Structure 1
Amino acid sequence: MAFDALFTPGTIGSLTTRNRIVKSPNTTATCNPDGTVSQRTVNHYRALGEGGPGLVMVEYTYVDDDASKSIHGQPGASNQNHVAGLGWLADEIRATGARAGLQLVHCGRQRFLGTAPMKSASRSSWDVAEMSFGVTPEPMTPDEIAGVVRSFGEAAGRVYAAGFDLVEIHAGHGYMITNFLSPFTNDRTDAYGGSAENRARILLEIVDSVRANVPADFPVSVRVSVSDYEPGGITIDETVELCRRLEEHGVTVIHASGGHHARMEYEVSGWFMERQPHRWGWEKIKAAVTVPVIGSGSLVTPEVAEDVVSSGSADFVSLGRAMIADPAWAEKARTGRRLEIVPCIRCNDGCLHRGLDLKRSTGCTVNPQMGEEGRFPVGTAATPLRVAVAGGGPAGLRAAAALHDRGHTVVLFEPGELGGALNHAVGSTVKQDLAGLREHLVHEVERRGIEVRREAADAAALADGFQQVVLATGAPQRTFGGPVSGVPPVLGPGEISARREELAGRRVVVVGGGFQGCESSLRLAEIPGTEVTVLEAAGALMRGDEVKYDVFSLPGRMAEAGVTVRTDAEVVAVAEKQVELAGGELVDADAVVLALGREAAPTTLKDDLGRAGVPVVAVGSAQKHGRVYDALHSAYFAARLI
């Protein structure tokens, strides 16, 4: 498929871009503690520019040295000491052929440093931040508001001096300006509270301040949330009217996203959410303004992005996590290598759960080099070997491709369908991103011409002529400890897709309320007519090592899908048309899915190879059970050392 609309040059005021793709300003937390740019920051943004987008937006940058800084490793534009590094960064981006933009922010109540002062429109706090840090917002005084307005303008002047092509004001996602815009977080009674006009006052003053500090033809963007999706919060009607007024005040482009941190499933949508969730909103904005509109939010694939632009839904598309997953997203789409794009699976594991939330820099589940661009290349092995990879799941597929790229002769052993544990995602709407990863990983093995033997690997076969073995045989499903007899059919989570027709219209009981059981229930709920019940022995769902964003959001999504959940419900037996709970209660079931997680992988094969003198390394769940992150990272880093 050609993506002609995506690769048509675009215009934002005086600025021309080589295509309609914008790299969204995702946080990397790679800057120095004083907000100056580091080599890691430059390496990251250079790689993004080389990947082919039209405009690269640098992550949110704080504007003053009082209360605007949000997070560790954040860039600053609060004083002249920041300009030299910002200039270095702008030059590196522009040298790739991309245009360079930078986003300015005041964090408001979303200050994750854990320190005072925290300044916002009102005392309304986000409970998670308050519980975590014990800091509540202080309402900004009129003098403080005037100071922040001035700081935005002065910071914009520094951005222009540094050589950027565009500056953006962040007025979305729950940060300070949004705290004023939303009636949910603004209970002021002065000129900055009450009516929609008053709540928008600070933003319009900031726009005027920015305009006064940059040339008249310098492009100014404002990023808005079409809605914060908060009951009693920002409505689309207010946002549309706001965008009309922003255009009157000289804003050059509207960058439309949605959500905020307390409704994170809308701001950084998870795998269980629909793609392009804010399209309904930015289309209303586009109909009301004459300046270009950038559509943002889970535009994961080139097909989705192309449709947005070709249909006239938005003038540009903004890609965030998609280009963290693959900085070369744009270039691969442009040159017809769509299946070579490493797809974002919207897991929020590497970027947030194991990254920013641990006070680390941003990482990525599917891109082990995120934030360390150029430091850990695959490289060419000094001595080519004949290497066997046992297992065609995500770890085995990733290892096989990397080993081939190092110059080794690779043979992949897999008796079943390539994809392993990822195959459960095929055919499921809620797991479409994971199905895309499976398609990509299989494609990467096939396009390299790696030999695949459709047989199970045993010690004798792996010792026959191979100088190295990579074990990627996964881990077995945990077995049910009680008796199982008669009907209903008892399935594992991986069997749901293949038996959709059989399960349609049936009462299905899922035993286990960990992540595996919860995601299985959502896949089952997609099947027409199913009545899905999850039984969990513990007092709450997902009590293990799950990604916290899944823990926050999945119960609500399950309820919306019509899934019944019972906790403190230990299943002790599966019998005909029923499951039995501890205490003797019987629950009707036409089918049962045992979703009890996985056990530790057996070591027999590894031990046998060791005794045979064959060097062996285990990756993925064959090494230690984990998530997709663990499978891909362990495979990549093991392969580059062989």
Structure 2
Amino acid sequence: MERYPHIFQPGTIGRLSVKNRIKYAATETNFPYGDGYVSDREVAYMEAQAKGGAGIVTTQGAYPDRKGEGKGFKGMMSINDDRYIPGLARIADVIRANGALSSIQILHCGREGGIDLDYCLMPSVVPQKLSYFKPPREITREEIRQAVKDHVAAALRAKKAGFDMIELSGIVGYLISTFISRYTNKRTDEYGGDLKERCRLMVEVIEGVKAGVGDMPVGIRLCGHELLDDRGGNTFEESVESFRIAEEAGADYLSVTVGWHESSQSVITRDVPMGHWLSIAEAVKKAVDVPVMMAFRQFLPHIPEKAIAGGQIDFVEMCRPMIADPEFPRKVSEGREGEIIPCIACNVCFSRLYYHQPIMCSVRPSLGHEGEEAWGYYGFKPAEKRKKVLVVGGGPAGLQCAEVAARKGHEVTIFEKNDRLGGNILIASRVDAGAAELLRPIATLGELCRKAGVDIRLGAACDPATVGREAPDVLVVASGPSIRGVSKGVLTPQDVMAAGEKVGPRVVIMGAGGVGLGVAVYLLRSGEYEITVIDDAGKPGRDVNPFYLWQYMALMRKRKVSLMMRTAVKAVEIGRVRIAGPSGEGVVETDSIITSLMAPEEGIWKDTAGSFAGEAYFIGDAKKPRRLLNAIRDGYRLGMVL
């Protein structure tokens, strides 16, 4: 606390005192049941957030209407009927029991709603830019009045459920935001026109909710900068003014966000520097008198500490950092920053929502399993029998397995041939701007392994003879993948991105998955290259998160990268590659050839594991080349059962 006095000083929102300046920010999880009821899984998740030390813990958004027009996610909570109050009360109770103030978000998803219907509601019919969302239908004046009533009724249920405060949401394309924005509001009645009229729905909702719940604090999330200039959205000045209008209507606090889901620039990905958007929150704070808060890439505690001290914000909101580690606040307050499981802005959590799946986290496999003892969120039971475990490879899978196994009481040794931990993450961390953040969980896992007593041997090659000398009970092969297509004159990603092998001006990359596109992006950022990417798959980047794929594709279009899909490499020759594709056979002239084709471990470890007398396991890319999420999850789950 001494290092971060401003984060941990008490604050005030309305009539309530808050123990510190950290608020867990609302996000959907898809943990509740599809019928709107709260699940045990959701309660356990919220309990973990409350135990983590935040001053305020906010639920996911709950939709307020009975038709489901406000429902934007398959597993979204509902607050449209009294029958949901008991489940919501469980969340309020578990938050309060663990020392935090409970906040519930009321969310009508509007343009992004109607997930179980064949339409969505909007102030005006503006075609969807993103095909995922439903076709728009213009909301009638009667339906607007009903939406206000729905929000008020939902707020009254929240009060009955025992929540301390209420949060309204007017961001990213949800109902209230679509009325505020010139981009989506073309109405000519009293709900359209100038900014004040476009804010009318917001004002009516705030005033109605405030009148209904009395002195219970009510806040609202609004967009400080839509980043929709190319689509005729609000100016920055209009967005800031909308906060002042919300304050005038009675909002007790204001949460500042940036961008819509339709914005055509990065907002929360790694290429956006941490703390980049704080100037927008600062502009809002200068315009209002109630507390102002913001999330958005404040992943390191010194960033909000400086922002609060400098008067840019009053509270910091944390969503993804506390998905990755609910104990973020407590660990910071106790001086254990090195043990924080760090968010890497991979956005796997958010992207899964749009595949109707529960959120997962690349760096925390226990997400969504906080209430299940076997997953060890609150600690593992000691193993019944202590075993000697040898882990080959100090990448994410090997480190995670070693850390969990050691926590369970096993004697664990990691052999890593390089002088650094990280495995293929050392390569991935060089792909694009901000990718070095991928190294943060490696540092944390290394720290946690050492704390758990793991013997980490760097620069230590391991072969079958080593295994014989060490005589482990358990052999864990986490040595990474085999690389297909390697022959004389063919380079690997490691050759180019780690060993510094020179490539010529014309480059052929075999494979258009995440590794191949990563190599292409790395080269495009490094110099001027004429790049051809060849793959027999139908689409590029099938294993790349959509939050990043659109950026990669935009860069490759700009730099005129040739993507040859549904095309096979038939032969690799000096200075050229023979191919066969939809247009027949052909030749691509090239100066350098790079293969990004990965396969499970097919070298000495396959035979060694087969003849090993003890338990032998393959995890991570050695088992099957996949994403970081899968590697860490492999390691965690194996560690669980050892």
Contact 1:425 1:497 in 2 (8 A): no
Deviations 1:556-595 (A, max 9, x none): 2556xx74422239897687xx8778766656x7xx5825
Give 1:20 deviation, angstroms: 1.2
Partner SS for 2:343: coil
Task: Indicate whether 1:448 and 2:445 are aligned.
Answer: no
CA distance in 1, matches of 2:523, 2:299: 24
Task: Indicate whether 1:470 and 2:476 are aligned.
Answer: yes
Partner SS for 1:474: coil
Give 1:497 deviation, angstroms: 5.6
Give 1:124 deviation, angstroms: 1.9
Give 1:606 deviation, angstroms: 3.7
Give the aligned partner of residue 568 of structure 1. Answer: 564
Task: Indicate whether 1:496 and 2:497 are aligned.
Answer: yes
CA distance in 2, matches of 1:494, 1:174: 44
Give the aligned partner of residue 408 of structure 1. Answer: 410
Partner SS for 1:128: coil
Range that drifts further, 607-616 or 152-161: 607-616
Task: Indicate whether 1:249 and 2:254 are aligned.
Answer: no
Task: Indicate whether 1:628 and 2:628 are aligned.
Answer: yes
Q: How does 1:96-495 map to 2 (within 5 A)?
A: 96-111=98-113, 113-116=115-118, 118-129=120-131, 132=132, 135-215=134-214, 217-230=215-228, 231=230, 232-263=232-263, 266=266, 269-349=268-348, 351-353=349-351, 355-375=352-372, 376-377=375-376, 378-416=380-418, 417-425=420-428, 429-453=433-457, 454-463=459-468, 464-480=470-486, 484=489, 492-493=493-494, 495=496
Q: What code does the residue aligned with 1:467 have?
A: D
Give 1:276 deviation, angstroms: 3.6
Structure 1 residues 612 and 555 mapped into 2: Cα distance closer, same or farther (>3 Å)? closer
Contact 1:471 1:606 in 2 (8 A): no
Give 1:525 deviation, angstroms: 5.2
Give the aligned partner of residue 55 of structure 2. Answer: 54
Contact 2:54 2:329 in 1 (8 A): yes
Give the aligned partner of residue 582 of structure 2. Answer: none
Contact 1:521 1:563 in 2 (8 A): no
Contact 1:29 1:74 in 2 (8 A): yes
Partner SS for 2:449: helix
CA distance in 2, matches of 1:508, 1:442: 39
Structure 1 residues 639 and 348 mapped into 2: Cα distance closer, same or farther (>3 Å)? same
Partner SS for 1:138: strand
CA distance in 1, matches of 2:304, 2:530: 36
Give the aligned partner of residue 535 of structure 1. Answer: 532
Give 1:359 deviation, angstroms: 2.1
Q: Which runs of 5+ in 2 are unaligned?
A: 580-585
Partner SS for 1:469: strand
Partner SS for 1:531: coil
Range that drifts further, 75-84 or 318-327: 75-84
Structure 1 residues 525 and 448 mapped into 2: Cα distance closer, same or farther (>3 Å)? farther
Deviations 1:102-160 (A, max 9, x none): 1111111212624245222122242434xx57x42221111110010111112112212
Structure 1 residues 7 and 507 mapped into 2: Cα distance closer, same or farther (>3 Å)? farther
Give the aligned partner of residue 583 of structure 2. Answer: none
Contact 1:394 1:438 in 2 (8 A): yes
Q: How does 1:539-618 map to 2 (within 5 A)?
A: 542-557=540-555, 563-568=559-564, 586=589, 594=594, 596-602=596-602, 604-618=604-618
Partner SS for 1:101: strand
CA distance in 1, matches of 2:139, 2:383: 59
Percent of pairs with identical residues: 29
Give 1:403 deviation, angstroms: 0.6
Task: Indicate whether 1:516 and 2:515 are aligned.
Answer: yes
Partner SS for 1:275: coil
CA distance in 2, matches of 1:510, 1:18: 57
CA distance in 2, matches of 1:494, 1:312: 48
Give the aligned partner of residue 70 of structure 1. Answer: 72
Structure 1 residues 348 and 112 mapped into 2: Cα distance closer, same or farther (>3 Å)? farther
Range that drifts further, 595-604 or 429-438: 595-604
Q: Which runs of 5+ in 1 are unaligned?
A: none
Structure 1 residues 203 and 547 mapped into 2: Cα distance closer, same or farther (>3 Å)? same
Q: What code does the residue aligned with 1:278 have?
A: W
Contact 1:226 1:278 in 2 (8 A): no
CA distance in 2, matches of 1:433, 1:383: 37
Give the aligned partner of residue 619 of structure 2. Answer: 619
Partner SS for 1:31: coil
CA distance in 2, matches of 1:477, 1:291: 57
Give 1:336 deviation, angstroms: 1.2
